[in-house]
Amino acid sequence: MSDWKEAIHRQRAQLARLLHEPLARLAERAAAAWGDGRQLNEALFSGFAELPHCTYLYVLDADRRQASDSVGRYGVVPGHRGTDRSDRPYMREAIPPWGFLLSDAYVSRHAGRPTLTAVHVIGEHGAALGYVAADFDLRDLPVTARLYEEPGRWQQIHGDPAIRSTVFLQRRVESFMDQNIDQALSILNELLTERGMFQSAVHFSNSVATAWFLEDPLRYRVLDHEALADPDVCLAYPCAPYPDNAAIPKNDIAQVLASMGQLRLMDETIYLRSSSINIMNGMISVTFSCDGTHYMPCDEFLSKNMSFWLGRAA
């Protein structure tokens, strides 16, 4: 299972524990009011006290048609009784034997927002009368998980098949940055190690780099080929100490950039189109002329020689 999917699984498990028992109690009240629309609405209103993050509550019959009105926190939403909900994502999922389902997230048909629905079977003397359903807007749900952290491991992403199929028909065209690559990489080294830049995406073929600085991390700067050829550009950014908590040692930055330069010029057919470096999470990315991209920790990137990238024996 992917790391981000595992994080979602843990979050969903915690949400299910929060919602299961209140919805089970509401299903019991709905069973007692079965067949009386007014009493069903009253039972649903009572459920909001135990489901504080709910958007709408409603009851479905055994054929998955709405048997009650849709009840929101502030009143009845008319016009939904009798609606066939059998085609909704939460009704197409199999309800577990214990009678409770927390659906996968889906985009609400009416609100157009990511939503999930909790469903509990309404039973009387062992027979399923229908279901009580509770809709939740994802932005209203309590988030019990920490911010997801990207795993620091090698990931390979295949590129556009149209580009991959014609890679041997193309040749590297010398860019402005290629003509001045050593100076451009020296400027990037200065910005990364002495001027507070913590991330940069370098587009060799376009002769441009985008840069993020610790002093203003929510906005990026664009360095075109003229800036990357002029050391005076460093004066536009104040000196800043290299972060103590950076994942890439300061002394490794020059070697990383030099390796990127070699990958750019290593072959006329298989060559580096773009790359990125983030000193805080320690990750490097490289995208080649075949449009394939690799994301990897810095030390792993530095351990590979040119023969590895060209697929040749060392």
CATH tag, 3-140: 3.30.450.20
Q: Are 266 and 310 in contact (CB under 8 A)?
A: yes
Q: Alpha-carbon distance 208 to 54, whole Å? A: 48
Give the β-pairing of 272-278 and 197-203.
Answer: antiparallel
**Residuewise pLDDT in 10s, the chain (314 residues):** 456 677 677 778 888 888 899 999 999 999 999 988 889 988 998 888 888 788 999 999 999 999 999 998 778 888 888 899 999 988 988 888 888 999 988 888 777 888 889 999 998 655 688 999 999 888 887 665 455 566 667 677 665 665 666 666 678 888 999 999 999 999 999 999 999 999 999 999 999 999 999 999 999 999 999 999 999 999 999 999 999 999 999 999 999 999 999 999 988 888 899 999 999 999 999 998 887 789 999 999 999 887 787 765 43
Which pair of structure tokens corresponds to residue 189?
């080294």
Burial of 290 (0-12, 13-18, 19+ CB in 10 A): buried
Give residue limits of the domains in the chain. 3-140, 155-310
φ, ψ (nearest 5 deg) of residue 172: -65, 130
**Residue 265: Cβ within 10 Å count:** 15
Burial of 206 (0-12, 13-18, 19+ CB in 10 A): middle
Task: List pLDDT tens digits, range 187-215.
Answer: 999 999 999 999 999 999 999 999 999 99
Order of all β-strands in the sheet with 293-297: 155-157, 293-297, 283-288, 272-278, 197-203, 208-213, 216-223
Q: Alpha-carbon distance 223 to 228, whole Å? A: 6
